[in-house]
């Protein structure tokens, strides 16, 4: 495959990805932080729907022998410590590595600073990796639940997709997604101090 073809394919897939992130509102800091504050549920709904859809897609593609899986390796300390730092970073930035680009496209100017910080964060890890990587390595390597249980991937994938779908039905009945859109689709609830001219957190401009 030529690089040009891969770039065109990546751009086309990214366009669809970006439209879905913008329409789904999950790129909004108000939605992401709202999920971490357990007041908004749009992010979890979209994340679990994407996973469940992917499970069905991969159950078909892998089960029929059309595509091999590409699971990442398991290294306990790297995964757990890195995951904690990553989550804290999302809460400080208000974005993850994919949604920061959607924020830039949608017009948030502070997201350019997230992008710059992210590039330097990747650079810092790259320089630290020769020491940090081996120090925190250790684990079973590429390991999936399917391999652990000895059950076929496609069967487990379809079961988990069904469980997620069922859970989402209950989540939606408990908390309809429209309730979390917020003022002007920012994911920030109407009536929060952000929208009160006299609010403590709203300085004179």
Partner 1 sequence: MLSLTDKAWSPYAAGVVIGLLQIPAFLLADTALGASSSFVSVAGYVASVFDPAVRDMDYFAKYMTSTKYAWQSALVVGIALGALISTRLAKTRRPRMSPLWRAALPVSGFGGRAAMAFAGGFVMLFGARMAGGCTSGHGISGVGQLAVGSILTIVAMFVGGIAVAMMYRKV
Angle formed by the axes of helices 42-63 and 153-174, nearest 10°: 160
Q: How far apart, in Å, do the first and last CA atoms of the chain sit?
A: 53
126 near partner 1, rule: CB under 8 A: yes
Q: Is residue 185 a contact partner of residue 28, using CB atoms and an 8 Å limit?
A: yes
Residue 74 has what DSSP assignment? E
12/162 with CB nearer partner 1: 12
Provide the 3-class DSSP secondary structure of residue 142: strand
Q: How far is the CB of 115 from partner 1 (least distance, A)?
A: 6
Residues of span 1-60 touching partner 1 by CB under 8 A: 1, 3, 6-30, 33-39, 42-43, 45-58
63 near partner 1, rule: CB under 8 A: no
Interatomic CA distance for residues 78 and 95, integer angstroms: 21
* Options 140, 162, 163, 179; binder of partner 1; rule CB under 8 A: 140
Residues of span 64-93 touching partner 1 by CB under 8 A: 66-67, 69-76, 78-93
* Options 65, 107, 150, 197; binder of partner 1; rule CB under 8 A: 107
Q: How far is the CB of 204 from partner 1 (least distance, A)?
A: 9
> CA–CA distance from 102 to each of 22, 93, 106, 142 (Å)?
7, 14, 6, 31
Give the total of residues touching partner 1 (CB under 8 A).
146
Interatomic CA distance for residues 194 and 200, integer angstroms: 9
135 near partner 1, rule: CB under 8 A: no
- Rounded to the nearest angstrom, the gap between the alpha carbon of residue 79 and the centroid of all alpha carbons in its chain is 16
163 near partner 1, rule: CB under 8 A: no
Q: How far is the CB of 155 from partner 1 (least distance, A)?
A: 11
133 near partner 1, rule: CB under 8 A: yes
């Amino acid at each position: 495959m030529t690089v040009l073809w891969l770039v065109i394919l990546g751009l086309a897939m990214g366009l669809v990805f970006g439209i879905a992130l913008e329409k789904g509102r999950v790129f909004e800091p108000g939605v992401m932080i709202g999920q971490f504050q357990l007041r908004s549920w749009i992010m979890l709904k979209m994340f679990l729907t994407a996973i469940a859809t992917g499970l069905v897609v991969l159950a078909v593609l892998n089960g029929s022998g059309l595509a091999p899986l590409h699971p990442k390796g398991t290294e306990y300390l790297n995964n757990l410590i890195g995951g904690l730092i990553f989550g804290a970073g999302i809460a400080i930035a208000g974005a993850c590595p994919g949604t920061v680009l959607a924020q830039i496209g949608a017009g948030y100017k502070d997201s350019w600073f997230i992008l710059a910080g992210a590039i330097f964060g990747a650079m810092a890890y790259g320089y630290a990796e020769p020491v940090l990587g081996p120090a925190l390595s250790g684990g079973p390597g590429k390991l999936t639940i399917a391999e652990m249980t000895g059950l076929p991937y496609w069967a487990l994938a379809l079961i988990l997709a069904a469980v997620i779908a069922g859970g989402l039905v209950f989540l939606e009945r408990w908390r309809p997604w429209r309730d979390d859109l917020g003022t002007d689709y920012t994911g920030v609830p109407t009536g929060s101090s952000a929208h009160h001219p006299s609010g403590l957190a709203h300085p004179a401009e």
